[in-house]
Amino acid sequence: MQANSSLRNLPLALSSPLRRPRPLPLLVTEQLTSSVGRQVTALALPLLAIVHLGAGPLGASALMAMTYLPGVLLSPLIGVAVDRARPRRLLVTVSWLQVPAIGSVPLAAALGGPTWPHLFAAAALSGALSSAQSVASQSCLPRAVPAERLLPANSSLTGARTVGLISGPALGGILIGVVDPAPALLVECAAYAVGGALFLALPASLNRTAEGAGAGARSRIEALREGLAVIRRETLLRRQALAAAGLNLGGGAGSSLFVLYADRELGLPSWQLGTVYAAYAVGMGAGVLAATSVTRALGMARAIRVCAVGAGAALFLIPAASLGPAFPVLVLYQVLFGLLATVWSIAMTTGRQLVTPAHLLGRVNAFLQAVLTATVPVGAFVGGWLASRVGIVPVLTGAAAVALAGASSLWFPRDMLAGVERAARAS
């Protein structure tokens, strides 16, 4: 337990008021604008396929899956490219490439209508670019912000994304109600155009490759092995992957069945279901605000462990809602899960940035992003398949058990955050 006691003092420095260096406001603003744009597109793209091509549930689902699949398949190679690239140039390029990728869809709709191959190609290209931007953004943050400010900086970025998650669907719904879904996609084009300009304004110091990026591995295969070696060496990163996989498998299964469960099993009216979903946004917002304070009170090691296990345990409230007053139990679940999962995510991201060498951070982020992206749809598919055979409530209970088991792996071995302690002392 030495790591826990030593890390307990770390958040004291992190909890002091965040001095905003020039790069951070630019990155926060970009996260806000791109998050709003992505949420509008997530609503408009499947609706466009329904309106223009008569898509059914399978077609709409397959279209959205194409936005995630490239990130899973290409993440390792994306990580190598991020580590070898000049961060500012890469961020500007991938952001501005999104404009023609997404903008080609409303253009095709204006010229006679998009086709299925066009929509799938646009979704796949946009998904690959989004994955590259996400990995690059996470990897350049430790170079843009001092190590002692990483935790509040990650909280600020998560807060910006949370605002986008809340406001984006509302804006998308209003636009689609006024105009056709195709013109609504121009919102994401505008967001990425602005985002590219914000990235371009980053300091010139962020347009240099990380120290050590040109040394070591020469081929892409060697570079991939070098990144995997870091994950094998650092217990924190291995445990993070295992815990995230468990939480996402269980959470994916629960999310895929949630609306069906609330409607058929619990009989919640629509206003209660809407309130339940709004409670999750409240929990996320509270997590963003509380992340630094919670880490200060518990210490980084214990905050990571407690919040992960708490988030996994909160999933048991979903099947528990069938035993009592469903509405307040589900509201409690959404608030608790949103709060605990957000604090855990911010603390774990900070820990990963502290223990990973700068010139390998792209590969490490990419590998872990692939795990996070792949396990959600797998959990959703398996959960739906099992629910059709054994019922929804047993599957929800099993999903919570899987999530809790994955999160509990963070407690073993006890020195899992020794690497974070070493990095914190060095900073």
- According to the model, what pLDDT value does residue 213 have? 57
Nearest of 294, 22, 322 to residue 153 by alpha carbon: 22
Per residue of the chain (427 residues), give pLDDT as tens. 333 333 333 443 444 444 444 789 999 999 999 998 888 888 888 888 888 888 776 677 678 778 878 888 888 889 988 988 888 999 999 999 999 999 999 999 888 888 999 999 999 999 899 999 999 998 889 888 888 889 999 999 999 988 888 888 778 778 877 888 888 899 989 999 999 999 999 988 787 776 655 555 567 778 888 888 888 888 878 888 888 899 988 888 888 788 788 888 898 887 888 888 888 889 999 999 999 899 888 888 888 899 999 999 999 999 999 998 999 999 999 999 999 999 999 998 998 888 888 888 998 989 888 888 888 878 888 888 888 888 889 999 999 999 999 999 888 765 544 555 455 445 4
**Angstrom distance (rounded) from CA 323 to CA 340:** 24
Q: Secondary structure of the chain: what % helix, strand, coil (to 5)?
A: 85, 0, 15
> 213: which DSSP letter?
T
Number of residues that this document lists for the chain: 427
Cα dist from 14 to 9, 147, 149, whole Å: 9, 9, 6
- According to the model, what pLDDT value does residue 397 have? 94
**Angstrom distance (rounded) from CA 29 to CA 201:** 12
Q: What is the pTM of this model?
A: 0.81
- According to the model, what pLDDT value does residue 296 have? 81
**Angstrom distance (rounded) from CA 209 to CA 358:** 10
The packing angle between helices 326-355 and 235-260, to 10°, is 160
**Angstrom distance (rounded) from CA 125 to CA 26:** 25
Tokens of 293: 């304070």
Torsion sign, CA atoms 36, 42, 45, 47: negative
- According to the model, what pLDDT value does residue 107 have? 93
**Within a 10 A sphere around the Cβ of 425, how many other Cβ atoms?**
9
Residue type, position 26, single letter: L
Provide the 3-class DSSP secondary structure of residue 195: helix
Nearest of 361, 45, 46, 413 to residue 227 by alpha carbon: 361
Nearest of 126, 132, 128, 124 to residue 90 by alpha carbon: 132
Nearest of 182, 190, 186, 41 to residue 112 by alpha carbon: 182
The Cβ-side half-sphere exposure at 302, using a 13 Å CA radius, reads 17
- According to the model, what pLDDT value does residue 318 have? 93
